[in-house]
């Protein structure tokens, strides 16, 4: 028999008492999520992410859950949490959104995709590649895809960015940044270059001669100069796509 030593300083157990020794049952620790291109993140955000994973665990059957977007940037300057749920079953996005927001009290944007839809998106849509270039996933991400340039599809994606030219005075800084990012991501995609947030931000600063990317997000731009550069770049990119179509 193995010897088991009980400490001398024990309450309610005088010498000679009979005791039963059992192994301590401990709560199973949560599975550590997988971090992709994230060097540091605030502990509070990790707690929020683990809570989101737990809530989705109880609500739906899924293949994977991925957190992406500005929530993963340093600081707390974000509008919502972008959540991708990978499942081959039909997911009620509004139902999941309400469950999460009721508990964590933060706005969320839910995108439910099948594995096949995600695979197609990664192959044909530059923003899908950007989303997964920096993320936290419940399970390991293993996706192999070959870039397929569908110019008709890219023309539709680029059309979104035209709204910045038409509605400059009516949209906020974050919307201006998102529309600019969309355009630059398409340009990098056509050039077969790697697409991630850092590279896109560097391209935006270079093309528009901006020192700090926050100048766009905070609406601190020279409207005339920015719009002229934006319009020229948009028209040049649009012409290239139309010619290929």
At residue 23, does pLDDT exceed 90? no
Distance CA 129, CA 150 (A): 15
Q: Which of 49-53, 181-185, 193-197 has the lowest mean pLDDT?
A: 193-197
pTM surpassing 0.75?
A: yes
Q: How many domains does the chain have?
A: 2
Q: Are residues 122 and 156 in the same domain?
A: no
Assigned domain for 6 exists: no
User: Cβ atoms within 10 A of the Cβ of 86, count?
Assistant: 21
CB 60 within 8 A of CB 89: yes
pLDDT at 1: 46
CB 132 within 8 A of CB 68: yes
Task: Look at residue 100 and give its three-state secondary structure.
Answer: helix
Structure confidence by residue, pLDDT tens digits, 112-171: 999 999 999 999 999 999 999 999 999 999 877 888 999 999 999 999 999 999 999 999
84 or 22: which leads in pLDDT? 84
Distance CA 163, CA 167 (A): 6
Q: Which domain holds residue 199?
A: 151-244
Q: Residue 74: CB partners within 8 Å, gap ≥ 6?
A: 40, 41, 42
Assigned domain for 160 exists: yes
Q: Are residues 121 and 206 in the same domain?
A: no
> What average pLDDT does the chain have?
89
Assigned domain for 239 exists: yes
At 134, list the tokens. Answer: 């920096």
Assigned domain for 13 exists: no
Structure confidence by residue, pLDDT tens digits, 195-224: 998 999 999 999 999 999 989 988 899 999
Assigned domain for 159 exists: yes
Kindly report the CATH number assigned to the domain that includes residue 78: 3.30.460.10
Distance CA 166, CA 83 (A): 30
DSSP single-letter state for residue 170? G
At residue 6, does pLDDT exceed 90? no
Q: Is 129 left (phi over 0), alpha (psi -120 to 50) or beta?
A: alpha
Assigned domain for 110 exists: yes
Q: Are residues 59 and 119 in the same domain?
A: yes
Distance CA 134, CA 94 (A): 25
Distance CA 195, CA 127 (A): 8
Q: Are residues 88 and 61 in the same domain?
A: yes
Distance CA 213, CA 211 (A): 7
pLDDT at 4: 63
77 or 198: which leads in pLDDT? 198
Task: Look at residue 97 and give its three-state secondary structure.
Answer: helix
Assigned domain for 84 exists: yes
Of 137, 162, 179, which one is at a domain's C-terminal end?
137
Residue range 173-196: mean pLDDT, rounded: 94
R_g of the chain, CA atoms, integer Å: 25
């Amino acid at each position: 028999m193995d010897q088991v030593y009980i400490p001398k300083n024990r309450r309610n157990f005088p010498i000679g008492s009979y005791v039963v020794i059992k192994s301590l049952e401990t709560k199973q620790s949560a599975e550590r999520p997988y971090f992709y291109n994230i060097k540091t993140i605030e502990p509070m955000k990790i707690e929020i992410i683990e809570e989101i994973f737990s809530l989705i665990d109880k609500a739906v059957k899924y293949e994977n859950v991925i957190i992406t977007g500005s929530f993963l940037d340093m600081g707390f300057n974000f509008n919502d949490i972008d959540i991708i749920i990978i499942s081959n079953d039909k997911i009620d996005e509004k139902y999941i959104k309400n469950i999460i927001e009721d508990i964590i009290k933060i706005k969320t944007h839910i995108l439910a995709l099948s594995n096949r839809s995600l695979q197609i998106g990664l192959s044909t849509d530059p923003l899908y590649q950007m989303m997964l270039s920096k993320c936290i996933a419940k399970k390991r991400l293993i996706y192999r895809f070959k870039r397929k340039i569908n110019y008709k599809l890219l023309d539709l994606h680029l059309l979104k960015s035209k709204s910045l030219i038409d509605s400059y005075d009516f949209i906020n800084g974050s919307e201006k940044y998102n529309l600019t990012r969309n355009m630059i991501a398409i340009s990098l995609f056509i050039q077969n270059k790697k697409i991630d947030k850092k590279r896109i931000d560097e391209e935006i600063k270079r093309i528009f001669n901006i020192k700090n990317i926050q100048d766009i997000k905070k609406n601190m731009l020279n409207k005339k100069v920015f719009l002229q550069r934006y319009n020229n770049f948009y028209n040049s990119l649009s012409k290239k796509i139309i010619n290929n179509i």
